[in-house]
């Protein structure tokens, strides 16, 4: 069965001035509504951006203050350690040797355990 389609143009019904006017008014109203929504979205985005920027500034300031306090305390403790070392050089040397021996023993036992695992 063969289907034949004929392309016949049909005349459009006449459009009255009232129809065009109503369509234009509806389009303008829709455009105005869309603009109002766009303005509200833009304003909300601006507010969110400002709040985000302010939050970032506060976080940077808090981190900076914490860093300053920590740095100051570390400097104080370092100064105390140096002062103690100058007042008690013999004891400081013995403490340093003890710490060195302890670290050496820990490393030696780690290497020994590693070698026994590899050779097994």
User: 84 and 92 in contact (C-beta within 8 Å)?
Assistant: yes
Q: What is the pLDDT of residue 6?
A: 53
Task: Report d(CA 11, CA 108) in Å as an integer.
Answer: 99
Same domain? 72 vs 46: yes
The number of domains in the chain is 2
Parent domain of 98 = 89-120
The token pair at 24 is 């234009």
Task: Report d(CA 74, CA 72) in Å as an integer.
Answer: 6
Q: What is the pLDDT of residue 9?
A: 58
Task: Report d(CA 108, CA 116) in Å as an integer.
Answer: 12
Examine residue 112 and state whether it is found in any structural domain, yes or no.
Answer: yes
Query: Per-residue pLDDT for the chain (120 aa), expressed as one digit of tens each?
Result: 455 555 555 555 555 566 767 777 788 888 888 888 888 888 888 888 898 899 999 999 999 999 999 999 999 999 999 999 999 999 999 999 999 999 999 999 988 887 777 776
């Amino acid at each position: 069965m063969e289907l034949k389609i004929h392309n016949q143009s049909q005349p459009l019904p006449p459009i009255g001035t009232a129809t065009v006017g109503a369509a234009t008014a509806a389009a303008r109203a829709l455009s105005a509504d869309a603009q109002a929504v766009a303005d509200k979205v833009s304003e909300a985005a601006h507010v969110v951006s400002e709040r985000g920027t302010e939050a970032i500034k506060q976080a940077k300031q808090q981190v900076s203050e914490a860093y300053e306090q920590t740095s100051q305390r570390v400097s104080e403790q370092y100064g105390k350690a140096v002062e103690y070392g100058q007042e008690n050089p013999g004891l400081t040397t013995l403490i340093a040797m003890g710490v060195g021996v302890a670290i050496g023993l820990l490393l030696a036992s780690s290497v020994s355990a590693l070698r026994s695992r590899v050779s097994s």
